[in-house]
Amino acid sequence: MADTPLTAPAVKPANPNFSSGPCAKRPGWTVEALANALVGRSHRAKPAKARIEKAIQLTRELLEVPADYLIGIVPASDTGAVEMALWGMLGARGVDMLAWESFGEGWVTDVTKQLKLEDVRILKAPYGELPDLKQVDFDRDVVFTWNGTTSGVRVPNADWIAADRKGLTICDATSSAFAQDMDFTKLDVVTFSWQKALGGEAAHGILILSPRAVERLETFKPDRPLPKIFRLTKGGKLMADVFEGATINTVSMLCIEDAVDAMEWGMRAGGLKAMQARADANFKVLADWVAKTPWIDFLAKKENERSNTSVCLVITDPDVTALDDDKQAAFAKAIVSRLDKAGAAYDIGAYRDAPSGLRIWAGSTVEASDLAALTPWLDYAFAAEKAALKAAA
């Protein structure tokens, strides 16, 4: 790549929102999409409950969830959905915890320090890598993130998961749902939130349960107290109404309307495969740019493990990598700040616990044309900060 002129590109992304959560709204979205939201109504009123049921129905249809799996809208975003599964299901047998970035590490902390389970194996890998999936024991329960949002590393497929497993697989799918090909027959609990691949609003989580997960809930009684928002059974039976639109606590009808709008867009766009194809095409824009750009590289080391949603990048320029860690982080933050001030890209800094660098959301609600317009700005911002670095030396 030739030296980039220190002149800002003439064209900015039409939508500079590249945050990894909440993510960009679907193309063409305006606040008018929420005009018919049932605000000021009880979420238990018939019209509101029908709209909640619509959100569940669209989730099943668009995500291609098997007919015998249950779908519920639960409190506290993806975190709440995962916690419900951990607190309500774990302890019946040993558990393998997989962690290769901050959110997986968080689930390890909950299981070992809060639940204080004794029979826990922790399979870890550093940022940019996966643990050895061959070491997972499916006679045990298994907890993992499909896509590491803060590392940009995902499992390549579900082939490593045993079909004849005895334990449950609990999958945090918050940045993979709707964008990556997940085999539900290999997954017993799936969680995500609207604010990722659907570009939705925060606060609510989705909890999807297989028949095996329901059986665990109805046959296993944890020896610990469960807060109300974690309870999915009553008298030893599943609270089925939670998966029929009767939510545990009050939901935002604005958020429900926004999720319905996003999923109806997904259906119009061509359904699940089309949404996955959009994310793949978006990732290709960034991958093609990385391939020809010497100062940047993927944090994920293996090509088939690179996320097509939360694309995490590290700066590899020798003058930058020669700096200490704090100065490398400051350099990356300066690029982020320059682009933010220019209105060319918002919220693309690496996650606070991750290696310094950039994180760019490339899910299906992002337009490939906006990513194509972004890459010259990335080159410009790097060149400008590199010049400032040399001037200060």
**Per-residue pLDDT band at 6 (split at 50, 70, 90):** confident
Separation CA 261–CA 58 (nearest Å): 10
pLDDT 10s digits, 123-134: 999 999 999 999
Q: Which tokens in the block code for residue 211?
A: 């028949």
Give this prediction's pTM: 0.97
Instruction: Please tell me whether residues 278 and 216 are part of one structural domain.
Output: no
* Last residue within a domain, chosen from 218, 243, 267: 267
Q: Percentage of the chain with pLDDT > 70?
A: 99
Is 373 within the bounds of a domain?
yes
pLDDT 10s digits, 17-56: 999 999 999 999 999 999 999 999 999 999 999 999 999 9
Provide the domain count of the chain. Answer: 2
Is 244 within the bounds of a domain?
yes
Torsion angle in degrees (nearest 10) through CA of 22, 24, 27, 30 = 60
Q: How far is CA 258 from the centre of its chain?
A: 18
Instruction: Please tell me whether residues 194 and 57 are part of one structural domain.
Output: yes
Is 382 within the bounds of a domain?
yes
Separation CA 100–CA 114 (nearest Å): 20
Instruction: Please tell me whether residues 145 and 234 are part of one structural domain.
Output: yes
Instruction: Please tell me whether residues 175 and 157 are part of one structural domain.
Output: yes
Instruction: Return the CATH number at 168.
Output: 3.40.640.10
Q: How many CA atoms lie within 13 A of 345 on its CB side?
A: 32
Closest Cα to residue 384, out of 326, 346, 344? 344
Please report the pLDDT score of residue 4 as a whole number.
54
231 pLDDT more than 60: yes
Is 23 within the bounds of a domain?
no
End-to-end CA distance of the chain: 24
Is 249 within the bounds of a domain?
yes
Instruction: Please tell me whether residues 357 and 300 are part of one structural domain.
Output: yes
Domain that holds residue 42: 31-267
Is 330 within the bounds of a domain?
yes
Give bridge partners of residue 171 from the DSSP assignment: 144, 190
Instruction: Please tell me whether residues 345 and 200 are part of one structural domain.
Output: no
Instruction: Please tell me whether residues 188 and 119 are part of one structural domain.
Output: yes
Instruction: Please tell me whether residues 96 and 225 are part of one structural domain.
Output: yes
Instruction: Please tell me whether residues 340 and 244 are part of one structural domain.
Output: no
As to burial, measured by CB atoms within 10 angstroms (0-12 exposed, 13-18 middle, 19+ buried), residue 131 is buried
> Residue 347: how many CB atoms within 10 A of its CB?
18
Instruction: Return the CATH number at 370.
Output: 3.90.1150.10
Q: Identify each DSSP E strand in the chain by its residue range.
A: 70-75, 95-99, 120-124, 141-145, 147-148, 153-154, 169-172, 189-193, 204-209, 233-234, 237-238, 296-298, 310-315, 358-361
Q: What is the mean pLDDT of the chain?
A: 97
Please report the pLDDT score of residue 393 as a whole number.
83
Please report the pLDDT score of residue 3 as a whole number.
55
* Last residue within a domain, chosen from 210, 242, 267: 267
Please report the pLDDT score of residue 1 as a whole number.
43
**Per-residue pLDDT band at 5 (split at 50, 70, 90):** low
Give bridge partners of residue 71 from the DSSP assignment: 208
pLDDT 10s digits, 51-90: 999 999 999 999 999 999 999 999 999 999 999 999 999 9
Closest Cα to residue 97, out of 157, 151, 145, 166? 145
Once rounded to an integer, what is the mean pLDDT over residues 142-165? 98
Instruction: Please tell me whether residues 157 and 249 are part of one structural domain.
Output: yes
pLDDT 10s digits, 301-330: 999 999 999 999 999 999 999 999 999 999
* Last residue within a domain, chosen from 249, 267, 285: 267
Instruction: Please tell me whether residues 234 and 313 are part of one structural domain.
Output: no
Is 12 within the bounds of a domain?
no
Label each residue of 48-90 as H, E or C.
HHHHHHHHHHHHHHHHCCCCCCEEEEEECHHHHHHHHHHHHHC
Is 245 within the bounds of a domain?
yes
Give bridge partners of residue 138 from the DSSP assignment: none
Separation CA 123–CA 144 (nearest Å): 10
What φ, ψ does residue 193 adopt, rounded to 5°?
A: -130, 155
Once rounded to an integer, what is the mean pLDDT over residues 92-100? 98
What's the chain's Rg over C-alpha atoms? 22
Closest Cα to residue 256, out of 242, 267, 245, 248? 245
Instruction: Please tell me whether residues 163 and 178 are part of one structural domain.
Output: yes
